[in-house]
A and B are shown apart, each in its own frame.
Chain A
Amino acid sequence: MKAIYSLILVLALVVLATLGAGAAKMQIIFAYCVPGTAFVIFLVGFTAKIIGWAKSPVPFRIPTTGGQQQSLDWIAQNKWDNPSTGPQTAMRMLLEVLTFRSLFRNTKVILRHDDGKNPIVAYVSAKWLWLFALLFHYSFLVIALRHMRLFLQPVPQFIVAVEFVDSVLQIYTPIVYQTDLLILAGAGFLLARRLYDAKLRYISLVNDYFPLLLILAIALSGMYMRYIAKVDVMAIKDVVMGLTTFKFKTPPATIDVSFYVHVFLVSTLLAYFPFSKLMHFGGVFLSPTRNLPNDTRMHHHENPWNNPAIKPHSYEAYEDDFREPMFEAGLPLEKNPEEAA
């Protein structure tokens, strides 16, 4: 049901853009106003969210330790999973952000029922989520980089190189970018497992289906533009450059309506981003169980709201409470019963 709501929502966005930019001839709004506004919302919202998180302190160093600690010299420390210095922690973060190391650990629990015998609980390796999540995110990154060609004049060599590699298979005309297919595979897998796995279906919200379907719709509309409508890229670059340099002019009628649909969906994603789970992109860098060294026994860490007024129940109060029996038991005392009396 939640998936269907999300699908309807995304289709409604497509229809809105088709009607708005096509039938209602509001190209200016859809080419400039909407994406411009969305970009501002994204920037301000993203920054505000990061600042909001950063404003809350990290009172304690609570890394989740995933390997051997630094202790005795002859015991090899697992520096990437249990870092004790800044550079080691940076390495842990790099591996986390670039290779999804924690997700790579994933296992799947299996309850096997043998006939007549007790069921067995087993844990098997489950790397599919890791693999498709990586495909999805890296395809997204490459596609975003490729789009920079529309924003930059002249196009930097780096972008050209990315495009070259991404189209290295040289299939179909226009040449297919591999990431176009991979992002469909990645997002498709993430969606399929949400729908197929009963546990995931149970925990999934509209907040989960909507961005996934939105990104799928963005990819599909983009592919439609390139492979089917074969839109006028030069005209589009004019419009995009106009947007980034604030030189707005009426977009030429040669631009297919699919462009406006694509841009509208991307704008929706940008505006939605800061208020959604997509903020995991920024949040992963701030996670206190990952971005801190396991070194509180080695170095002092300051808790800004540490309250020095909180003191333990004092020894004096303890001895006052138990002086007589302590004396009788022969335990050393600060004050003998006579002194205390």
Chain B
Amino acid sequence: MAKILKPDEMLRSINYTPPATDWMETPNDLSPGRFAYPAKLDKVEYLMHEVPGVFGNPRTWNPSDADWQLPPNWKEIVVNGFRERLDKYRSLKLFMDICVRCGACADKCHFFIGGGDPKNMPVLRAELMRSIYRGEFTLAGKILGKLTGARVMEEDVLKEWFLYFYQCTECRRCSLYCPYGIDTAEVTMMARELLHLVGININWILEPVANCTRTGNHLGIQPHAFKDIVDFMLDDIETITGKRVKCPLNEKGHEILFITPSGDAFADPGIYTFMGYLILFDAIGLDFTMSTYASEGGNFGLFTNADMMKAINGKMYAEANRLGAKWILGGECGHMWRVVNQYMDTMNGAMQGPQMQTPVNPITGTVFKNAKQTKMVHIAEFTADLIKHGKLNFDKSRNSNIIATYHDSCNPARGMGMFEEPRYVLNSVVDQFHDMPENTIREQTFCCAGGSGLNTDEIMDIRMRGGLPRGNALRHVQEKHGVNTMACVCAIDRATLIPLADYWAPGVSICGLHELVGNALILDGEGERTTDLRQEPLPGMEEE
């Protein structure tokens, strides 16, 4: 792993003045730390078998090598793939044509703000592809060439795409400010699809995709191990609350199927969020089951190809049908909710079995009309409804050591618009809550810089640079209000924001929303709690 600068040095290294060379002349820097490792051969082969036509050219290769071992007809594959996608997606066609390069997006990207590389300006990121569009598909571009910003497909262009379309987290912040709504996430998705066709990929995405396909979750947790993990958490909950709660797995005949990202089952601090869910379900006596087959809320397929995304997503309905669940409750996850909110029913709605119904909160009777087609409710919506109806008893003092802020994850923010629900829940379980500055939250929120499959350690320099805007806003409220905890509703955030906070705002810890719910929630028949879900002493319980 490449050495990474100290925060102070990194800040001083940022320069927004572009280099003297024209961007088409600027050579690719493929030194270590500039790219994520390519996918392992067996993962690519497995996925080629599972979903044909999406991935290609399986081999062992190294982006630092001059020779990327591309197939002889790679150019034809990419250009044809490009043409095919122009016909399949109006978004792509339109976004290739209508950009006026007004530059409103230029300083909206976290990677540009933290790094200053002009190719991280969303406009220029899209121009990497637009230039090929002009050169390969428009008459003016073919005749006038570089004069009109056109160029033809070459190996260096492909390498440049690999570098920069894997420095986009598909967070859509630029799209919010664009006067035409040009969405770089769409462009990045298309570029990645094209790269996959010729075997250019990263392992941090393809291994989870392969795992998810076979084992049901990104982390490759096998069913029996998943049960062990859950049992372990049930033990911990018993230790903390004195009560043994339940977590049915793969059981038929329950009303609700609960699906959350596997990151919540795997490591700190996701597991505390997971425990929070289970405590909540016990408190209201929810009739639910989880599934090991559909043990992943997230969908790294979104970061590869539309077909792959669809195949992975289909498990949710397939399992709801098999188990006879009426509707699906979804846990805290960012990109999962982009998929559920904007893609799921369109892709797989036809799979819904006749037993599936418009979600109704069995405790409050609230009909989730906004989920009547997809039949999937976000747990923050669900919990907010419970709290509003006074169905939960909280002891907020258990969170009284927490001065919280809230990180809006990109996807629930700009691909859904879920802002008030989590804040309402958070305000119900903590006494002290302070939002970060308004230009850095809600729809204007900044990415954790590890989204869209970039939460891997070999690109830590890129991640910390991209994390600057979030980290800077966090440090602001840390200094101003003494904020010591940042809550979020995203499993990737719970992994990526920890190094980000350690780097830019040391002393702030990261937690899921339902960890704080679980801390404050009073269960029937529970014992006196002396620790929080992390088994650290509750306020007032610290030993002298």
Contacts and interface: CB of A to CB of B under 8 A. Distances in A.
Grouping DSSP codes into helix (H, G, I), strand (E, B) and loop, the A interface class, with mixed when no group exceeds half, is loop
B172 interface: yes
Interface residues of A, number: 102
A217 interface: no
B183 A331 contact: no
7 contacts: A53-B90, A60-B342, A65-B417, A72-B384, A75-B420, A107-B108, A202-B18
Interface of B: 7-8, 11-12, 14, 16-18, 23, 50-51, 86-94, 97-104, 106-108, 113, 118, 121, 123-124, 127, 138-140, 147-149, 172, 175-183, 186, 213-216, 222-224, 227-228, 249-252, 292-293, 306-307, 310-315, 318-319, 322, 340-347, 349-350, 366, 368-374, 376, 381, 384-385, 388, 413-421, 424, 437, 439-440, 442-444, 468-469, 472
A111 interface: yes
A287 B182 contact: yes
Contact of A197 (B103, B149, B178): B103
Contact of A296 (B113, B147, B315, B341): B341
Contacts of B342: 60-63, 294, 296
Contact of B97 (A53, A108, A205, A310): A53
Sort A-B residue pairs by CB-CB distance and give the 3 closest, nearest first: A69-B417, A312-B314, A283-B98
A65 B16 CA distance: 29
Contact of B94 (A69, A120, A283, A297): A283
B346 A59 contact: yes
Interface string A95-118: 010001011011111010100001
B248 to A, nearest CB: 9
Contact of A312 (B102, B179, B312): B312
Contacts of B439: 107, 123
A104 to B, nearest CB: 9
Interface centre among B139, B376, B384 (most CB of A within 10 A): B384
B227 to A, nearest CB: 5
A305 B306 CA distance: 11
B213 A313 contact: yes
A49 B8 CA distance: 50
Dominant secondary structure at the B interface: helix
Given A61-B342, A294-B417, A203 B93 contact: no
Contact of A331 (B224, B370, B424): B224
B322 A315 contact: yes
Given A60-B342, A61-B346, A279-B97, A103 B216 contact: no
B311 A64 contact: no
A49 to B, nearest CB: 7
Interface stretch (A19-27, A147-155, A320-328): A320-328
A107 B342 CA distance: 27
Interface stretch (A78-86, A167-175, A235-243): A78-86
Given A64-B181, A296-B345, A331-B249, A120 B310 contact: no
Interface of A: 5, 49, 52-72, 74-76, 78, 81-82, 84, 96, 100, 102-103, 105-109, 111, 113, 118-121, 123, 129, 133, 193, 197-208, 275, 277, 279-280, 283-284, 286-290, 294, 296-303, 305-308, 310-315, 318-319, 321-322, 325-326, 328-332
Contacts of B346: 59-61, 296, 300-303, 306
A56 B99 contact: no
A160 B182 CA distance: 38
A299 B373 contact: yes
B301 to A, nearest CB: 10
Contacts of B381: 71-72
Contacts of A84: 370
Contact of B417 (A82, A111, A312): A82
Given A62-B91, A72-B388, A199-B106, A284 B121 contact: no
A285 to B, nearest CB: 10
Nearest to A288: B91
Given A280-B98, A310-B51, 9 more contacts: A56-B93, A62-B183, A72-B421, A207-B148, A280-B180, A312-B312, A329-B224, A330-B227, A331-B223
Contact of B250 (A303, A321, A328, A331): A331
A299 to B, nearest CB: 6
B372 A298 contact: yes
Given A74-B388, A313-B315, A198 B17 contact: yes
A203 B103 CA distance: 8
